Amino acid sequence: MSKSAEKKLTVYTAKSPLMEPGKLFREMLSDLKASVGLAMRLTGRDIAAQYRQTALGYFWAVLPPLVTSLTFILLNRANVIETGAMNLPYPVFVIAGTIFWQLFVDALNAPLKVVNVNRAMLSKISFPKEALVLSGILQVLFGFAIKLVLLFAVIAIFRVPVQITAFAALLSLLGLLGIGTLCGVFLVPIGVLYQDIREGLLIMTGALMFFSPVVYPPPAQGFLATIIAYNPLTPFLMLCREAFFDGTLHYLPQTLAIMGVAAILLLAGWVSYRVSLPIIIERMDA
Amino acid sequence: MTEPIVSVSNVSKKYCRNLKRSLWYGVKDIVSDMAGRSKDSHTLRPQEFWALQDIAFELEPGQSLGLVGRNGAGKTTLLKLINGLIKPTAGKISIRGSLGALIALGTGFNPVLTGRENVKIAGSVLGMSPRQMDEKLDEIVDFSEIREFIDTPVKSYSSGMLVRLGFSVAIQLQPDLLLVDEVLAVGDLGFAVKCMKKITEYRNNGGSMILVSHAMHNIRFHCDKALWMERGRIVDYGSSHAICDAYELSTARAGSHDGEMLIADADFAVGEVDYPIKVAGNQGFGFEIEFLAKRVVKNPIIVFAIFDIKGQHMIWNYSNMDEFFPSLVPGSNKVKVSFPSLPLANGVYSITVVLHENQVGNHLVVCKNSFSFEVTGADAGFGLLATKGTWSIAHE
């Protein structure tokens, strides 16, 4: 029992937490702080559990981008996909693209996935809920780290020089992770209540890949060119590649601007996550 | 003046019966919460019902409260609200100090991971720091008594072992307020007793507790106050003994399925009694049961049984074996059973009465664990029975 004379007072009412924004943000920060250790434990648990019962182990992390890449490499060889002249070997282009893209997709799926995996815990144990999202991010980063090994292997095989500007790619990767998480967190309330979201997400991300410069460079004109130009993910993917391989940073200003907007939206997503969880929890007892 | 550790004022909670509608209401509630418009609501939307209505009570530090009531009375919902898992629809809950819960033990365990790994995660979920966890790990493993399996994946554990491990972690926390939901009957008998000891120890150190249990002897033994709930409303609130007696009598009144037989009343046949009923050790006592029958029961077999606090059968007497062959007539039938000497050791016991017709197994009325009493002053050492021995010695 805590011996301090001043005991922490916790109050629960029907009122919306947004009616007291100061209190809400203080609680958000203190819960975030309390979440870090737990998030690491949960990440350890989920990673260990995921790979302990497999024969191929961590190889499963690189298999999806590898298969996607090989498919497109074959299509490219067969001249089904026309990429025009490129200053990068196509396999390096496509593997880098899919690995960067997969970071976004994994981050997008992580919040909903981790909330669903921990349904029983959420409905029965009181703990800082931020830990779940944090653990989702850590798991995504773990998977990404393994995929980077694949990327560097391919880079070495094709003897492609990596530019000093590659460090700027970190910013862009952070952006892909952040935007994915942001969208994923916004989807949690509705996605936990309605299974439709999970089904739809798979199809949507599959389609979205073709409207992003993942497996081919953006075409110069036409319908696809317009969509890719307006796709907020385009600057991130472009910056990643140019920083890694071209030594240019043309897309840096756009990337920074979008990240600024995303940071504000991420805060809003965080609030929506906190506010909606108690309402979701009472509906997911089953 | 001490401030209450928990204060629940006019708390209501509504749920929706229909799943699709409930999901849709969920979306609406989230939107209104995000817009900062949610406040107390006292009206129901279509298909909604009150799971809790106007619940109010306070608990002083160091006190313990028992929640009693039939399934669906709202006890677990109330615990969830206090635990902060779900939001009240109206009213206010204030908690002063830290909160811990012994609810759904072993939740969050991953079957592939070992007991040791799961203990560390569970501790972390409950708010222990890695350092605290390292310090407590040995204690937790020792308490659970499954050291030899601690590095085995928990999927090979029995359900009892999982609960042991879950309890051992959760009880380490020593919060100011402990929420306990029907977990005292966990695992095997030995472990259940150990858990109860641990809870008593926690209470002796000044901890407060809210206990949900269907076992009245647990409520009587562990709680100062009790709250009786039915259909989301408070029926009665008061000292745990008074509430348990009233609740027991109400459950005892439960009749047979066809409504032709009813236990109208039952009491200790000792004239005026004070609650809680205390029976002097080795003194024998009588018990009277009033059956209200609508028809003749020619060949009734009445069971009178006494259980101890751990659920062990102390006695289980059939009326026919005691060579008592009554018949029940329409109207009131007062049956009395007495024991000239019942050598029970000191402790809390409960009584079960069953009425069979013609043969054992053909139940008319079952009134299980419905009356409690305490035996005091039994003059003996240890053991289930307290009886005086006559000793002698012979020298060659």
ipTM of the prediction: 0.84
SS3 A77: helix
Residue A78 pLDDT: 85
Beta pairing partners, B374: B278, B348
| Number of Cβ atoms within 10 Å of the Cβ of B235 | 16
Whether A45 contacts chain B with CB within 8 A:
yes
The residue assigned the tokens 């307290």 is B386
Query: Worst-scoring range by mean pLDDT, A94-108, A156-170, B307-321?
Result: B307-321
Instruction: Show the domain range for A155.
Output: 33-281
Q: Which domains does chain B have, with CATH numbers?
A: 6-35+45-242 (3.40.50.300), 253-376 (2.70.50.60)
Q: What is the mean pLDDT of residues B333-340?
A: 88
Residues of B whose CB is below 8 A from A4: none
Q: Is residue A223 part of a domain?
A: yes
Cα–Cα distance for residue pair B95/A11, rounded to 1 Å: 6
Q: Which residue type, as a one-letter code, is found at position A186?
A: F
Those residues with Cβ within 8 angstroms of residue A60's Cβ, 6 or more apart along the chain or in another chain:
A51, A54
Lowest mean pLDDT among A86-90, A104-108, B61-65, B369-373: B369-373
Does an H or E element contain B336, and which? strand B331-339
- Residue numbers in A near B26 (CB within 8 A): 193, 279-280, 283
Total count of residues recorded for chain A: 286
Interface residue of B124, B134, B181, B202 to substitute, partner A, most A CBs within 10 Å: B124
Contact B348, B309 (CB under 8 A): yes
Give the Cα separation of A267 and B239 in Å (integer).
48
Phi, psi of B51 (to 5 degrees): -80, -30
User: What is chain A's mean pLDDT, rounded?
Assistant: 90
Asked whether residue A55 is domain-assigned, the answer is yes
CA distance, residue B30 to nearest chain A CA (Å): 5
pLDDT tens-digit map of A197-209: 888 998 999 899 9
Q: How many domains does chain A have?
A: 1
What does the pLDDT look like over A21-69, one tens digit per residue? 999 999 999 999 999 999 999 999 888 888 888 888 888 888 888 888 8
Q: Indicate whether A26 belongs to any domain.
A: no
On the question of pLDDT at A2 being above 50, the answer is: no
In terms of CA atoms, which chain A residue is nearest residue B126?
A127
Which amino acid, one-letter code, is at B51?
A
Chains A & B: contacts with CB separation below 8 Å: 164
- Out of B187-191, B236-240, B241-245, B346-350, the most confident range is B236-240
* A188 domain-assigned: yes
> Does residue A27 sit within a domain?
no
Residue B196 has pLDDT above 70, yes or no: yes
Whether the pLDDT of residue B54 is over 90: the answer is yes
Closest residue to B176, CB basis, from A2, A275, A276 = A2
Residue B272 has what pLDDT? 47
For residue B271, the model assigns a pLDDT of 47
A121 CB near a chain B CB, below 8 Å?
Answer: yes
B276: cis peptide before it, omega within 30°? yes
Q: List, for residues B265-318, the tens digit of each pLDDT value.
A: 666 665 445 555 677 776 777 888 888 888 888 899 999 999 887 778 889 999
* Surface-to-core class of residue A167, CB atoms within 10 Å of its CB (0-12 exposed, 13-18 middle, 19+ buried): exposed
Closest CA to B15 of B58, B52, B62: B52
Could B103 and A17 be called an inter-chain contact, meaning their C-beta atoms sit closer than 8 Å? no
CB A214 within 8 A of CB A98: yes
The answer to whether position A183 is within a domain reads yes
**Cβ within 8 Å of B, A 94-113:** none
Q: What is the DSSP string of B156-200?
A: GS-HHHHHHHHHHHHGGG--SEEEEES-TT-SSHHHHHHHHHHHH
Element (H, E) at B339: strand B331-339
Which residue stretches of chain B are H helix?
A: 19-34, 75-82, 115-125, 130-144, 159-170, 189-204, 216-222, 240-252
Give, as one character, the DSSP assignment of residue A244.
I
Distance from CA of B200 to the nearest CA of A (A): 14
Contacts of B124 in chain A (CB under 8 A): 37-38, 41-42
CB B374 within 8 A of CB B279: yes
Cβ burial B291-320 (10 Å sphere, 16+ → b, else e)? bbbeeebeebbbbbbbbbbeeeebeeeebb
Mean pLDDT over B142-148 rounds to 90
> Across all residues in chain B, what is the average pLDDT?
85
Indicate the residue of B23, B33, B206 with minimum beta-carbon distance to A275.
B33
Collapsed DSSP state (helix, strand, coil) of residue B312: coil
Q: Report which of residues B170 and B8 the model is more confident about.
A: B8
Q: How confident is the model at residue B342 (pLDDT cuts 50, 70, 90)?
A: confident
- Say yes or no to pLDDT of B237 above 80: yes
Is residue A222 a contact partner of residue A151, using CB atoms and an 8 Å limit?
no
Chain A CB contacts of B91 under 8 Å are 13-14
Q: Which two tokens stand for residue A204?
A: 């949507």
pLDDT value for B274: 54
Q: Give me the residue from B82, B89, B107 closest to A121, CB to CB.
A: B107
- For chain B, the maximum distance between any two Cα atoms, rounded to a whole number of angstroms, is 96
pLDDT interval class at B216 (50, 70, 90): confident
> Of B171, B182, B155, which Cα lies nearest the Cα of B207?
B171
Chain B contact for A51 (CB, 8 A cutoff)? no
Highest mean pLDDT among A82-86, A137-141, A204-208, B127-131: A137-141
Task: Read off φ and ψ for residue A163, nearest 5 degrees.
Answer: -80, 160
Please say whether the beta carbons of B286 and B270 come within 8 A: yes
Q: Please give the sequence-ordered ranges of beta strands (E in DSSP) within chain A, or none if there are none.
A: 9-13
Q: From the CA atom positions of chain B, what is the Rg in Å?
A: 25
The pLDDT of B39-54, averaged and rounded, is: 91
Burial class from Cβ neighbours inside 10 Å (0-12, 13-18, 19+) for residue A135 reads: buried
- Report chain A residues whose CB lies below 8 A from the CB of B93: 11-13
Kindly tell me if the per-residue pLDDT of B223 is higher than 50. yes
Beta strand spans in B2-127 (E):
6-16, 48-59, 64-68, 90-96, 99-102
Report the residue of chain B nearest A279, measured CA to CA. Answer: B26
Query: A118 and B108: CB-CB below 8 Å?
Result: yes
Tell me which range, A250-259, B15-24, B94-103, is most confidently predicted by mean pLDDT. Answer: A250-259
